[in-house]
Each structure stands twice: as C-alpha cells, then as structure tokens.
Amino acid sequence: MNWFDKYKNDFEFKSYVLSKKTGITRSILEFLEDSKDGSNVKFGTLILLAEVGGKPLADLVK
C-alpha cells in the first residue's frame, strides 16, 4: 500500500469522490496511486488533498 492508498483508506475516500471534491483529474489520481513516496506530487495537489481531508498540510506530508 502506498501513501495515497493509505490516505484514501484513512479518510474512506474513493477516487471518484476525491476527483469531484478536489477537481483533481482521474489521470492525476492514477499517477498518485502509482507514486511510491509522493515526492513528485505538485504542491497544489497536496494542498487540495489536505483541505478535503480536513488536515493541515504538515500532517499530510509527514
């Protein structure tokens, strides 16, 4: 399980719901699902994921 799968499990999000809530496209979500450590994720994408999860950005990047 990579970091993005853990994020989705922790918040009980499905990719479709995340796409609708954040505006992040399905292709970007697929990239995140294939990402091993999140080091190549754009800052803006991390901000959107943190906002939807209701967490500070610092908690997301630990």
* pLDDT tens, position by position, 36-56: 887 888 999 999 999 999 989
pLDDT at 60 (0 to 100): 77
Closest CA to 57 of 11, 24, 5, 44: 44
Taking the C-alpha atoms of residue 21 and residue 48, their distance in angstroms, rounded to an integer, is 9
Per-residue tokens: 47 = 């901000």
pLDDT at residue 61 greater than cutoff 80: no
The helix/strand/coil state of 1 is: coil
Residue 62 scores a pLDDT above 80: no
Report the candidate in 47, 58, 55 with the shortest Cα–Cα distance to residue 22. Answer: 47
Reported as a single tens digit per residue, the pLDDT across 5-39 is 999 999 999 999 999 999 999 999 999 999 888 78
